Amino acid sequence: MTKLLLSTMEKLTPQELAEVESFASYLVARRKLKDVTILSDDISTKELTALVESGGSFDWLSSPEEDLYSSSDGVPVRW
């Protein structure tokens, strides 16, 4: 990393650092796309799914802290 980049990152808030990390993960995952010039609605669902899965943005969902409810919580819904 360049000195300028390191200096700039030291000034970021934790939220901003998390955003930079997510964007960097996106850039790395984007390499796996067949044609990176079509980053628009022209991306196939399969490629977009692969990008999202490998990007790491949803890794927090598998965190134990996110497992708040069980099947015994609440009351059944009648349809």
- Which pLDDT band holds residue 10 (cuts at 50, 70, 90)? very high
Per domain, the residue ranges of the chain are 17-34+41-59
pLDDT of residue 36: 56
**Spatial CA neighbour of 33 closest among 47, 49, 54, 53:** 47
> 6 pLDDT exceeds 60?
yes
Task: Dump pLDDT digits (tens) for 26-76.
Answer: 888 888 776 656 555 677 888 888 888 888 888 888 888 877 888 788 888
pLDDT of residue 12: 92
Please answer whether residues 54 and 31 qualify as being in contact, where contact means their C-beta atoms are separated by less than 8 angstroms: no
